[in-house]
Amino acid sequence: MSLLSGKKRVIITGISPQVDGGKYPAKVTAGKPMSIKASVFCDGHDEVKAAVVLAAPGGAPGSNHGQEHPMNLLVNDCWEYTTTFAAPGMVEFKILGWVDHFATWQKGLAKKLAAGQRSWVDLEIGAGLMLTSDILTDAEKEALSGLVQNISPNNTDSKAQESLYMFIEEHAFKMARYRNEELVVETPCTYLLEVSRSKAAFSTWYELFPRSAAAQPGMHGTFKDVTRLLPRIASMGFDVLYFPPIHPIGEKKRKGKNNSLAAGEDDQGSPWAIGSRLGGHKAINPELGTLEDFTVLIASAHKAGIEVALDIAFQCAPDHPYVREHPAWFQWRPDGTVQYAENPPKKYEDILPFNFESDDWQRLWTELRSVLLYWVDWGVEIFRIDNPHTKSFRFWEWVIVEVKSKNPNVIFLAEAFTRPRLMEQLAKGGFDQSYTYFTWRTGKVELETYLRELTETPMKHYFRPNFWPNTPDILPPYLTEGGENAHIGRLILAATLSSNYGIYGPVYELGINAPVAGKEEYIDNEKYEVKHWNWDAYTRTREIITRVNRIRKANPALHETNNVHFAVSTSEHIICYVKSTPPSEAGRGNVLIIAVNLDHFNTQSAWVQIPLLEAGLEVGRTYQVHDLLGGSTYRWTGEWNYVSLNPYQIPAHIFLVEQ
Amino acid sequence: MSLLSGKKRVIITGISPQVDGGKYPAKVTAGKPMSIKASVFCDGHDEVKAAVVLAAPGGAPGSNHGQEHPMNLLVNDCWEYTTTFAAPGMVEFKILGWVDHFATWQKGLAKKLAAGQRSWVDLEIGAGLMLTSDILTDAEKEALSGLVQNISPNNTDSKAQESLYMFIEEHAFKMARYRNEELVVETPCTYLLEVSRSKAAFSTWYELFPRSAAAQPGMHGTFKDVTRLLPRIASMGFDVLYFPPIHPIGEKKRKGKNNSLAAGEDDQGSPWAIGSRLGGHKAINPELGTLEDFTVLIASAHKAGIEVALDIAFQCAPDHPYVREHPAWFQWRPDGTVQYAENPPKKYEDILPFNFESDDWQRLWTELRSVLLYWVDWGVEIFRIDNPHTKSFRFWEWVIVEVKSKNPNVIFLAEAFTRPRLMEQLAKGGFDQSYTYFTWRTGKVELETYLRELTETPMKHYFRPNFWPNTPDILPPYLTEGGENAHIGRLILAATLSSNYGIYGPVYELGINAPVAGKEEYIDNEKYEVKHWNWDAYTRTREIITRVNRIRKANPALHETNNVHFAVSTSEHIICYVKSTPPSEAGRGNVLIIAVNLDHFNTQSAWVQIPLLEAGLEVGRTYQVHDLLGGSTYRWTGEWNYVSLNPYQIPAHIFLVEQ
């Protein structure tokens, strides 16, 4: 027979949020209310109570450390506890459930009294429950026993009953604190929450290559040049400034312009070919400046409201010091060379991957952790990890927890454009944000389907999308064909569909969109050469970016991603969605209605059916919407309303529903 | 640092079928193909292999007992293994995954050869993988080593390369059987499957009260009377004959006709008030006959293709022997009486529930198990459990496994009409079939929504619905209002939407439908009195039941429930769905298109959009459909077709799509 006490009758199931049965943490945001839910019930009709126990991870299994909080019954046996975590870090929780016999008795008695049935038997049962609990003082127990003796079984006069009833009523509140610990059921495992700082949930990224930041053409840009650009980037509303790798670039097998195999003498190479005689992942390319210049830049950025994000690419150029110092971390070929990256028949001889099946894996993991911690020590709290899906998943699970245990503010963005299961696994394993398929989702139905997958499936608990309309690696045909109008349309979609978004900035602002013939790639790519950009150019795209980022900052509905609800639209070219925060005592929350024209060549119009419930609107009522982007104001009524958008002016409305 | 070997790179996730992460078994059917699926992948581009290990439950954790079967890659990193289990019983499985370096090397080499790149280095890498495996004989190793020495590094002539290449090619097949056990990843827990005999998945129930089976009015029916009815029931196509409890009925607090508090002298009481001086749950009400009569009945039924199902109600009349013999199993009140069932202010003084929080719970559980095993010993293999949700869930989890470990043919039907989470939990905990909300789902949208919940959510893996249009406890208003037409329509829905269905037979056939005023209950209910039915009556309902059951038997598409796909219908009164088995080499599977008129008073028509893919039909092709119910034949083309149904004739088509 089962060792479990057969007297325990409560069942706990349907726990949310959870990822893979508690194996991975569900992500929540510091400072935002979140709810823990569970189905808690027992057989029959007894009253049940439930509680959640919150604790820091690592307590002894089964130990009752941590703080217990009562849960509230919603409907259909679903219990809820809502809280707001103040600070980032890991939290573990478990759920408790128990039968509350006194509450069952109270409820039954109330019904019987309402039906005019009061018997001394029922009162004595209630008194018995009180006496066998440990909530009464000795004096109270004595008093209660006396009252019970007065009524049972021979003296059943109503005055004695009334006295007993009064006593029970008076002391009933104490029973709410009592339970028989022997009958308490708890979840056999604990569930993890990762509380992230708010920037993990809401961030606006600008990518540039510091080496192209020089004021003069022909010069190699420096951190000092970037420092000069900070006010410009801040004024456009970006709060994360992300650099490709800043380390010394390999000299052996260095690539030339346009990824050519033979580098010219002046070619600076690809920043992702990391390491040379000048150092590896903890060194700075001296052409960019010194470590001091870098820390000055970080401090200046901080003052401007910008955080610097570093690109970490765990791979080596052939002349990286690791190759000499730690040959065991690489795979060696019979010809005495290190196995380079390849995707047969293509060879990438300037890139040597680490061998994660190395017998020396422990030292490798430890060293890579030290790289991250080194930059954390110098003030970097955001990492964009290059191609994480080509390194062992278990390594990431380990190293991310390690780094965050030193500094819970650190944020990791996974740069993986790969198969769905791999992208999901990286997010489960600890990455705070993830690149997405947004870049290739351009039609109305595919955008809606993809957003539903991200925000309505279990992914919503662990995968925080970061939408990029372009990257140095990806120039979608859409931007090539659609020109400035497409750049503006895609930016508005990225910035309003996802609370995290970014652009590879200079080319995006300038609308540079010439591809390598037949490929989704920029020609004369900055990855392989130093460029010079006209930072003073003032384009329509730049103007819209600035406006959109200002709108994002001012509207909390755009600070989260899972709060999107699509409107039915009568045109395949017009996508329309509501983003909203929950209503409060002050009235409806922050409610935006956003409509975007996906056709960059023609004005398109549609009737859109606003999801009133999600927008906090009432059926049949008139409401005023104010376009935060274009400035116009309309009075709308009910569900169906009309929009018309010209891509040569502003291809979108971002309507604020006015209070 | 993690104790786990950091060299293990494979991730296994997304395992199906599973219930609550392997905590409960997923249900499958003996003799039917089933698939185990999992997402198995690793970082990077290496080739991965996966296998499933099947075993009987109870092996030592982590032990490698059981049979390993390779899985096949479908798409998106999803791997599949398909099998057919021959016999009922529990099976546990786990998934293995590993990187196959030789397969990776082979794939890369093939691409390089196709591009004209063959180098001795690649060949020597392949040879090295062979030499470090354990698949070559000593002689082969020596030969291979010799060939390797011939080519590297100085002698790179193409003849030596060719010889080495030929050797590797010739012995490559052996490498498919090799893996480095050190790098194999396995799921940390095992997952359970419960293989049920086919009747758990496909059964046709007829409920009658044996006491009303007498040939003469005014007589108490017996098992012998029921034996006489068997050919009739078999000819109507039923294969489970289910009786309310057959035990002695309590005499204390016995209920009279129409549930009146005071029983008359001749009142036989409710069969669910179990136990008297004549015995308890292991005794037979002597008015029904002897144990021998019962076993004769079971044997006769068996010959007629019918199994007898017993109703087990774990509760006691006040004069049940348990009350005297095991007072600890009940809750006692201060007035010296046992707590009866109550739903305040209502009292059910003829029913005493067991106290599952009894200190003597172990003896209680053991005794209740012995009741089930007693009837199993006498040949009963199907139990309909009365109100299981008012007994401890953990008791059921335990006792069902116990009974099935003695006889894996035993089938349990949960008679719970209660809140959703409780119904789900009973099914997770081992009940093979469950009563449902079908009884109250009458509109098109609510039927479709409910069926999707049952067949497309995780419920499909553990909850086998059994649809009942009526029971002795439930006379839906629909049947009262709609008369014979409604009885026929609801029967067709039950019998074709669910592979398990049943009726409370005599009243259904006869169309008896007078309710207690204002209630969904039969008046003059057979629960409280002996009735006499005209078994010779030949109603339209009886005729349709017989035809429908014959169609069910002949069409495998009706032997499962999860294979339903709804057609769009232009009328809210016409529901239409496809039921099909997968295509085989012989052509399309068994494909039925079913359309039912939900309006019992008027002819209704609709255009229906047949889901061609699910029906195994081609776009634009003409196909012939033959109505197995009405006999007509039509030639249909494409998706949209027209139906018109008169409820006074036959309210449904059950079309067989002809080959």
pLDDT at residue B64 is higher than 50: yes
Give tens-digit pLDDT for B486-506: 999 999 999 999 999 999 999
Residue of A nearest to B402 (CA): A1
Q: Per-residue b/e over B87-110, b at no fewer than 16 CB within 10 Å?
A: ebbbbbbbbbbbbbbbbbbbebbe
The overall average pLDDT reported for chain A is: 95
Per DSSP, B499 falls in state: S
- Residues of chain B with pLDDT > 90, as a percent, come to 89
pLDDT score at A659 = 79
Q: Average pLDDT, stretch B280-297?
A: 98
Q: Could you read off the pLDDT of B420-472 as tens digits, one per residue? A: 999 999 999 999 999 999 999 999 999 999 999 999 999 999 999 999 999 99
pLDDT at residue B60 tops 80: no
Give residue-wise pLDDT tens across range A413-447: 999 999 999 999 999 999 999 999 999 999 999 99
Binned at pLDDT 50, 70 and 90, residue A185 comes out as: very high
The pLDDT value given to residue B154: 63
Looking at the partner chain, which of A120, A333, A365 has a beta carbon nearest the beta carbon of B6?
A365
Q: Order of strands across the sheet with B33-42? A: B10-16, B33-42, B78-84, B72-73
Q: What is the pLDDT of residue B587?
A: 81
Question: Could you tell me whether strands B411-415 and B433-434 are parallel, antiparallel, or unpaired per DSSP bridges?
Answer: parallel
The per-residue pLDDT for B155 is 63
Instruction: State which residue of chain A sits closest to B2, comparing Cα positions.
Output: A398
- Mutating which of A189, A355, A357, A418 best tests the B interface, going by the most B Cβ atoms within 10 A? A357
CA A37 to chain centre: 19
What's the start-to-end Cα distance of chain A, in Å?
A: 63
Nearest-Cα distance to chain A for B382, in Å, is: 23
Q: What pLDDT does residue B620 have?
A: 84
Cβ <8 Å between A356 and B7: yes
DSSP at B283:
S
Q: What is the mean pLDDT of residues A144-148?
A: 92
Nearest to A43 among B39, B334, B391 (CB): B391
Q: Does residue A591 contact residue A555 with C-beta atoms inside 8 Å?
A: no
B2/A394 CB distance under 8 A: yes
Model confidence pLDDT, tens digit, residues B296-331? 999 999 999 999 999 999 999 999 999 999 999 999
Q: Which pLDDT band holds residue B156 (cuts at 50, 70, 90)?
A: low
A387: closest CA of chain B, how far (Å): 9
Q: Say what the pLDDT of residue B1 is.
A: 43
Which of chain B's residues have a Cβ under 8 Å away from the Cβ of A333?
A: 121, 125
Structure confidence at residue A597 (pLDDT): 98
Q: What confidence score (pLDDT) does residue B3 get?
A: 52
What pLDDT does A20 receive?
Answer: 95
Answer whether residue A467 shows pLDDT above 80: yes
Please compute the mean of the pLDDT values over residues A533-557 and round it to a whole number: 97
pLDDT at B152: 63
* Average pLDDT, integer, range B387-396: 97
**DSSP letters for B105-153:** HHHHHHHHHHTT---HHHHHHHHHHHHHSS-S-HHHHHHHHHHHHHHSS
> Does a cis peptide bond (omega within 30 degrees of 0) precede residue B476?
no
Asked whether the bond before B17 is cis by omega within 30 degrees of 0, the reply is: yes
Q: Write out the catalytic residue numbers of B.
A: 386, 415
Contact A334 B112 (CB under 8 A): no
Look at residue A595 and tell me whether its pLDDT is greater than 50.
yes
Which of B120, B390, B421 faces A76 most closely, judged by CB atoms? B421
Nearest CB partner across the interface for B389, out of A6, A43, A365: A43
pLDDT digits (tens, 9 = 90+) for A509-543: 999 999 999 999 999 999 999 999 999 999 999 99
pLDDT per residue as tens digits for the range A72-125: 999 999 999 999 999 999 999 999 999 999 999 999 999 999 998 878 899 999
Closest-CA distance, B21 to chain A, in angstroms, reads 7
Q: Do A394 and B9 touch (CB under 8 A)?
A: yes
Task: Determine the average pLDDT of the residues in B34-62.
Answer: 89
User: Which pLDDT does position A119 carry in this prediction?
Assistant: 84
Q: What is the pLDDT of residue A1?
A: 43
Q: Which residues make beta-bridge pairs with A577? A: A566, A594
Q: What is the mean pLDDT of residues A32-50?
A: 97
Residue of B9, B43, B100, B425 to mutate, interface with A, max A Cβ within 10 Å:
B43
pTM (two decimals): 0.94
Q: How confident is residue A155, by pLDDT bands cut at 50, 70 and 90? A: low
Q: Work out the minimum CA distance from A187 to partner chain B, whole angstroms.
A: 12
Question: pLDDT: is B5 or B103 the higher one?
Answer: B103
CA–CA distance from B564 to each of A90, B498, B622 (Å)? 44, 9, 22
Residue corresponding to tokens 């409509």: A595
Q: How far is A158 from chain B (nearest CA, A)?
A: 17
Among B394, B453, B459, most A C-beta atoms within 10 A, so best to mutate, is B394
For A234-245, how does the pLDDT look when each residue is reduced to its tens digit (9 = 90+)?
Answer: 999 999 999 999
**B344 to A111: CB separation less than 8 angstroms, yes or no:** yes
Chain B residues whose beta carbon lies within 8 Å of the beta carbon of residue A1: 362, 365-366, 398
- Which residue on chain B is closest to A20 by alpha carbon? B21
Chain A / chain B CB contacts < 8 angstroms: 175
**Which of B115, B333, B394 lies at the smallest CB-CB distance from A8?**
B394
B421 with A77: Cβ contact below 8 A: yes
What value does the mean pLDDT of chain B take?
Answer: 95
pLDDT band at A57 (very low <50, low <70, confident <90, very high): confident
Tell me, what's the pLDDT at A498?
98
The mean pLDDT value for B211-220 works out to 95
User: What one-letter code names the amino acid at A12?
Assistant: I
Beta bridge partners, B315, equal B353
